[in-house]
Amino acid sequence: MAHPPAPSVAEPEPLITPRVLAGLSVTALVQAALVVGCVWPGWDLFAAEALPASLAAAALSLSLLLAPAWNSDPRAHDDVLLLQNGRYVFLSLWQAAAFAFFLLVSARVTTLSGDAILRASLILGGAAWLALTVSRRWPRAYLGLVLFWVVAIPMAAFVVAEVFISTPNGSMGWSRAKGPGVETFRNTVEWLLRFSPGTAIIGALQGRLPGDASCGWREAGLFAGGGALLGFLLQWIGPWRPADRTETADLMGP
């Protein structure tokens, strides 16, 4: 008499899959190459003053580009939301820690404070977390959303600021302009720059945004906290589609 097929037992998904490990390795190697190319005796591929900004550009670009690749890894999908969040937290913290380490190395040849390094790393971690959740929720719209977030927002802010400076109300300069509604307009443009991760990280490293607006612990905390909250809302509100899997049952002979 034939026995019914035994139910298959799904193996626990690993925290670090080969694809995840490869992406994290690329992130570290690219930043290490930038540091070596700047500080190695006799190389001097670019000025030491540009090293923090170069590290920020590399870390942020790789974080945003690798998020869809990590989410498309079939071995890194969890139907349990808590496990998926644990993987996202690990990836975000690892990228922030690696970025902080290489900034700390670059502080040997530049004037970077410990507070600036921690603020920039906090913003990068928040951006990485939000990128992972957005790429999982809206994979087809992810590229457009990232371009809007990283490129379109700061470009629009700078263009609007230049147009404002050319008007009579802005003839005294961006930070010294006076007039009805000028302060509200200036604050709106500055918060747009703080909302975009690229300008926010550079502002955190320098302590000021373009136009001499502050970008300290309060702004870094708001960015990271807002990104974390938005990421959680994207996962908990609306349907969460688990990863597609093909499960095969083990058949036992008679």
CA distances to 72, 87, 179, 190, 235 from 82, in Å: 18, 9, 51, 35, 10
> What are 198-251's pLDDT values in tens digits?
999 999 999 888 877 888 899 999 999 999 899 888 877 755 554 444 433 343
- Chain centre distance of CA 168: 38
Please tell me the distance from the alpha carbon of residue 41 to that of residue 16, in angstroms, as a whole number: 36
The reported pTM is: 0.83
> What are 89-107's pLDDT values in tens digits?
999 999 999 999 999 998 8
Nearest to 189 by CA among 207, 168, 210, 173: 210
pLDDT one digit per residue (tens) for the chain, 254 residues: 455 554 444 555 566 778 888 999 999 999 999 998 887 766 667 777 889 999 999 999 999 999 998 888 766 555 567 778 888 999 999 999 999 999 999 888 888 889 999 999 999 999 999 999 999 889 999 999 999 999 999 999 999 888 888 888 777 777 777 777 788 888 889 899 999 999 999 999 998 888 778 888 999 999 999 998 998 888 777 555 544 444 333 433 44
Question: Would you say 119 and 216 are in contact if contact means Cβ atoms under 8 Å apart?
Answer: yes
Report which secondary-structure segment, H or E, holds 50. none
Question: Would you say 181 and 96 are in contact if contact means Cβ atoms under 8 Å apart?
Answer: no
Please tell me the distance from the alpha carbon of residue 62 to that of residue 64, in angstroms, as a whole number: 5
Q: Is 26 helix (H, G, I), strand (E, B) or coil?
A: helix
- Taking the CA atoms of 217, 219, 222 and 223 in sequence, report the sign of the dihedral they define: negative
